[in-house]
């Protein structure tokens, strides 16, 4: 690409209210591309690459970086996790990319708040040794735009500022084209923003969202126009994930701690998206505040009914519970007491637990727990465990339980007060293991029992004996298939076994006459000996022929002849 003037490198982002690790593309990337377009760059002037693409083919990009007028890296994991096939950028890589460039160098995204690849550590703020790199201290898209602007050519003189809702209204549309350069395109999940900033009057001790100020809702029409543009370009997978609480989109401040939800705004948003993108394959969400549900149960029920009507199944309402210890809830200004979170879980189950056409329940709650918060004691671990056990014993479903240790960021009350992270590390590890075994495992057996057919699982990685895939969506279930299958392929899978947080399955229906041994023996009730016997007797002409010659009726629903 000899004309390239700007290179955007996606080092990935993972924040409580924004995700950008493949197959996701974060809004930051699209906004920056839009800001570049508005600054006079053409689509051909802008090259986008993920850090994983650079690692696997460094030769493709070396020259582009060297000659580009502008090299922009987006990075920052404020809630780092483990990723199936992606590894976030590290500081050494950031330095080496910038060292290869002779143009303007800009680093930004959530990394502006500090850098750490692991939860439970203090985020480092002294980022780089490289002197000529500009670190955007507020919004990178606004910084890029201003640096290229008429008046400010020198990044040192450029003010760091937040972008306006009007700016991203334009940039989101102008930058949508960039998804075509994503390595997963067209199977890329577009993370959509509805607003950011916390609408509560008090804030949780660990959270960085209040640094954005009060909620700056995007107009419904802006989000729909963005989806229209992305859809036109080929996007079929969407998650409304960039907001701290979907229930509070366009909520009204009535003077209390939590603003009053506006079900009409959410209806207009979802209906508008479905109208403009009729063939979309996934429409999911992220983040629901259990405090909002506790305070406004009827309005929230209305919103959840709207979501279930217009979304696609497998959706997850991730609830930021953080702690089931009332002392910790109070000491850290958290959103809801344990009984309120329990009621939120019950409400979401009531509206969302029916199984949808992709095999997953329509919508389930997820739970986020954070450890190392102020006031935590050994009792906190018991309280959290007992809460989850009570949910399980009450036959309520949870899609996933996210447990992490707090990462303390500057300008939050937690900064400098995170000594309990280290003190409780060993208890934390044991407790986490116990939850995986005693809660996650039986919960998963209920969420997707053996014999459930999961539609459109995309195979993402493989080796000689195993492949792993996921459905496209919010918190998709990791699915192991005991065979080497081509990556990138979508297939239906029937569940045969459960792990703590993943399932094993075989392609559905299994073509028994050609299936490899390891898939046949994965079928329920079939051991290696029987699998060899079945394979030896193949081919079978029909269901009846199979039953007659093997005496096995039980696995018929899994098979194709
Ligand atoms: S409610 Fe708490 S966790 Fe949610 S955005 Fe506000 S401060 Fe952050």
Mapping DSSP onto H, E and C, the string for 334-395 reads CCCCHHHHHHHHHHHHHHHCCECCCCCECEEEEEEEEECCCCCCHHHHHHHHHHHHHHHHCC
Residue of 205, 257, 289, 294 to test ligand 1 pocket, by largest number of atoms within 8 Å of CB = 289
Residue 152 per-residue DSSP state: -
Ligand 1 atom with least separation from CA of 335: 1
Mutation pick for ligand 1 pocket among 198, 241, 413 (CB with most ligand atoms within 8 Å): 198
Phi, psi of 189 (to 5 degrees): -90, 120
Question: How confident is the model at residue 58, as a pLDDT?
Answer: 87
Pocket test for ligand 1, best of 18, 210, 321 (most atoms within 8 A of CB): 210
Residue whose CB lies within 8 A of the most ligand 1 atoms, among 320, 322, 330, 367, for a mutation test: 320
CATH of 187-447, one of 3.40.50.2300, 3.40.1740.10, 3.30.1300.10, 3.80.30.20: 3.80.30.20
Q: What DSSP assignment string belongs to 157-202? A: GPPP-PPPHHHHHHHHHHTGGGGGGSTTTTS-EEEEES--S--SSS
Ligand 1 atom closest to the Cα of residue 17 is 5
- 473: how many CB neighbours lie within 10 A of its CB? 23
Angle between helix axes 27-38 and 165-174 (nearest 10 degrees) is: 90
Residue written as token pair 């479905």 = 274
Taking the C-alpha atoms of residue 485 and residue 183, their distance in angstroms, rounded to an integer, is 19
Locate the ligand 1 atom nearest the alpha carbon of residue 197 and give its number.
5
Ligand 1 centroid – CA 476 distance (Å): 24
**Cα dihedral 505, 461, 403, 318 sign:** negative
Query: Tokens for 543?
Result: 């269901």
Tokens for 87, please give them: 């590894």
Q: Which of 201, 204, 247 to mutate to test the pocket of ligand 1 (most atoms within 8 A of CB)?
A: 204
Helix, strand, or coil here: 281? Answer: coil
Q: How much distance in Å is there from the Cα of 85 to the middle of ligand 1?
A: 30
* End-to-end Cα distance, the chain: 49
Nearest to 481 by CA among 501, 460, 500: 460
How many angstroms is it from 263 CA to the middle of ligand 1?
Answer: 20
User: Residue 76 forms beta bridges with which residues?
Assistant: 13
CB 253 within 8 A of CB 205: no
Q: What is the pLDDT of residue 255?
A: 87
**Closest residue CA from atom 6 of ligand 1:** 198
Using the mean position of ligand 1's atoms as its centre, give its distance from the Cα of residue 203 in Å. Answer: 6
Tokens (6 digits) for 127: 């980022």
Cβ–Cβ under 8 Å, residues 313 and 362:
yes
Please calculate the CA angle 288-256-252 and round it to the nearest 5 degrees.
Answer: 65
Residue of 388, 289, 302, 293 whose CA lies nearest to 344? 293
Measured by CA distance, the residue closest to atom 2 of ligand 1 is 204
CA 374 to centroid of ligand 1, rounded, Å: 16
> Of 515, 463, 508, 506, nearest to 484 (Cα)?
463
Name the residue ranges covered by the structural domains of the chain: 6-157, 187-447, 453-560
| Nearest Cα residue to atom 4 of ligand 1 | 244
How far is it, in rounded angstroms, from Cα 341 to Cα 20? Answer: 28
Phi first, then psi: what are they for 525, rounded to 5°? 80, 5
206 CA to centre of ligand 1 in angstroms: 9
Distance 518 CA to ligand 1 centre (A): 47
Residue 16 alpha carbon, nearest atom of ligand 1: 3
Owner of token pair 């708040």 = 113
Cα 417-422-427 angle, rounded to 5 deg? 125
Nearest protein CA to atom 8 of ligand 1, as residue: 207
- pLDDT for residue 1: 45
Q: Which residues have C-beta within 8 Å of that of residue 478, sequence separation ≥ 6?
A: 84, 468, 470, 501, 502, 503
d(CA 330, CA 416): 19
Cβ contacts of residue 127 below 8 Å, gap of 6+? Answer: 91, 107, 111, 115, 135
| Strand locations in 45-132 (E) | 46-50, 70-77, 104-108
Ligand 1 centroid distance, CA of 79 (Å): 14
Distance 61 CA to ligand 1 centre (A): 39
Q: Which residues contact 502 (CB under 8 A, 6 or more apart)?
A: 477, 478, 479, 480
Ligand 1 atom nearest the C-alpha of 208 is 8
Would you state the CATH architecture of domain 6-157? 3-Layer(aba) Sandwich (3.40)
CA separation (Å) from 388 to 338, 351, 403, 439, 537?
Answer: 10, 20, 12, 7, 48
pLDDT along the chain (561 residues), means of 10: 82 94 98 97 96 92 91 90 92 92 92 67 58 88 90 76 97 98 98 95 92 92 98 98 97 92 98 98 97 98 98 98 98 97 98 98 98 97 98 98 92 93 96 98 98 97 96 97 96 96 97 95 93 95 95 93 93
CA-244 nearest atom, ligand 1: 5
Task: From the CA of 287, give the closest atom in ligand 1.
Answer: 4
Ligand 1 atom index nearest CA of 199: 6
| Cβ atoms < 10 Å from Cβ of 253 | 12
Query: Tokens 């919960």 — which residue?
Result: 443
CA distances from 546 to 513, 524, 552 (A): 10, 16, 8
Supply φ then ψ for residue 491, to 5 degrees: -150, 160
Q: How far is the CA of 24 from the centre of ligand 1 (A)?
A: 23
Q: How far is the CA of 343 from the centre of ligand 1 (A)?
A: 19
CA–CA dist 392, 436 (Å, integer): 13
Locate the ligand 1 atom nearest the alpha carbon of residue 291 and give its number: 1
Q: Tell whether pTM > 0.85.
A: yes
Distance (angstroms) between ligand 1 centre and the Cα of 543 equals 56
User: Which atom of ligand 1 has the smallest separation from the CA of 333?
Assistant: 2
- Please give the full DSSP string across 11-58, using - where no structure is assigned: EEEEETTEEESTTEE-HHHHHHHHHHHHTT--GGGEEEEEHHHHHH-H
Which protein residues touch ligand 1 with a CB less than 6 Å away?
Answer: 198, 200, 203-204, 207, 209-210, 244, 289, 320, 335
* 132 Cα–ligand 1 center, Å: 35
Query: Pairing relation of β-strands 467-471 and 478-481?
Result: antiparallel
Beta-carbon neighbour count of residue 524 at 10 Å?
A: 15
Cα gap 145→150, rounded to integer Å? 10
| CA-closest candidate to residue 17, choices 212, 173, 164 | 212
What per-residue confidence (pLDDT) applies to 128?
A: 62
How far, in Å, is the centroid of ligand 1 from the Cα of 68? Answer: 39
Backbone angles phi, psi at 74, to 5 degrees: -110, 130
Spatial separation of the C-alpha atoms in residues 405 and 428, rounded to whole Å: 8
Residue with tokens 């802008």: 46
CA of 209 to the centre of ligand 1 (A): 6
């Amino acid at each position: 690409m000899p004309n390239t003037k700007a290179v955007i490198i996606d080092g990935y982002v993972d924040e409580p209210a924004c995700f950008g690790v493949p197959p996701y593309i974060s809004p930051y990337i699209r906004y920056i591309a839009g800001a570049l377009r508005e600054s006079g760059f053409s689509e051909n002037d802008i090259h986008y690459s993920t850090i994983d693409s650079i690692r696997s083919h460094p030769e493709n990009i070396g020259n582009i970086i060297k000659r580009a007028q502008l090299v922009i890296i987006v990075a920052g994991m404020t809630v780092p996790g483990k990723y199936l096939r992606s590894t976030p950028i590290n500081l050494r890589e950031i330095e080496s990319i910038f060292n290869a460039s002779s143009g303007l160098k800009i680093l930004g995204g959530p990394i502006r708040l500090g850098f750490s690849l692991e939860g439970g550590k203090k985020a480092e703020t002294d980022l780089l040794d490289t002197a000529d790199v500009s670190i955007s201290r507020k919004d990178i898209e606004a910084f890029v735009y201003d640096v290229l602007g008429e008046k400010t050519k020198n990044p040192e003189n450029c003010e760091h500022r937040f972008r306006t809702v009007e700016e991203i209204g334009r940039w989101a549309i102008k930058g949508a084209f960039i998804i075509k350069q994503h390595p997963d395109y067209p199977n890329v999940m577009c993370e959509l923003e509805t607003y950011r900033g916390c609408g509560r009057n008090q804030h949780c001790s660990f959270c960085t969202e209040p640094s954005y100020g009060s909620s700056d809702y995007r107009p419904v029409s802006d989000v729909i126009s963005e989806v229209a543009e992305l859809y036109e370009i080929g996007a079929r997978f969407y998650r409304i994930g960039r907001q701290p609480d979907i229930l509070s989109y366009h909520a009204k401040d009535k003077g209390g701690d939590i603003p009053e939800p506006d079900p009409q705004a959410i209806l207009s948003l979802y209906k508008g998206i479905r109208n403009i993108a009729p063939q979309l394959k996934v429409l999911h969400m992220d983040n629901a505040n259990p405090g909002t549900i506790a305070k406004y149960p009827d309005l929230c029920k209305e919103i959840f009914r709207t979501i279930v009507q217009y979304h696609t199944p497998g959706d997850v309402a991730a609830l930021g519970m953080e702690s089931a210890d009332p002392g910790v809830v109070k000491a850290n200004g958290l959103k809801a007491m344990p009984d309120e979170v329990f009621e939120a879980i019950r409400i979401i189950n009531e509206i969302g637990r029916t199984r949808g056409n992709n095999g997953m329940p329509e919508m389930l709650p997820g739970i986020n727990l954070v450890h190392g918060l102020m006031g935590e004691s050994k009792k906190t671990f018991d309280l959290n465990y007992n809460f989850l056990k009570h949910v399980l014993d009450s036959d309520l479903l949870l899609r996933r339980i996210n447990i992490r240790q707090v990462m303390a960021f500057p300008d939050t009350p937690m900064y400098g007060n995170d000594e309990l992270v280290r003190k409780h590390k060993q208890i934390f590890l044991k407790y986490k293991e116990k939850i995986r075994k005693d809660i996650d495992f039986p919960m998963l057996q209920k969420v997707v029992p053996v014999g459930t057919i999961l539609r459109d699982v995309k195979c993402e990685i493989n080796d000689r004996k195993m492949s792993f895939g996921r459905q496209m969506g919010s918190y998709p279930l990791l699915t192991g298939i005991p065979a080497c299958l081509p990556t990138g392929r979508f297939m239906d899978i029937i569940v045969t076994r459960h792990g703590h947080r993943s399932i094993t399955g075989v392609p559905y229906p299994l073509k028994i006459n050609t299936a490899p041994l390891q898939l046949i023996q994965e079928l329920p009730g079939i051991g290696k000996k029987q699998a060899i016997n079945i394979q030896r007797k193949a081919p079978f002409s029909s269901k009846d022929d199979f039953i007659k010659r093997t005496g096995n009726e039980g696995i018929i629903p899994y098979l194709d002849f």
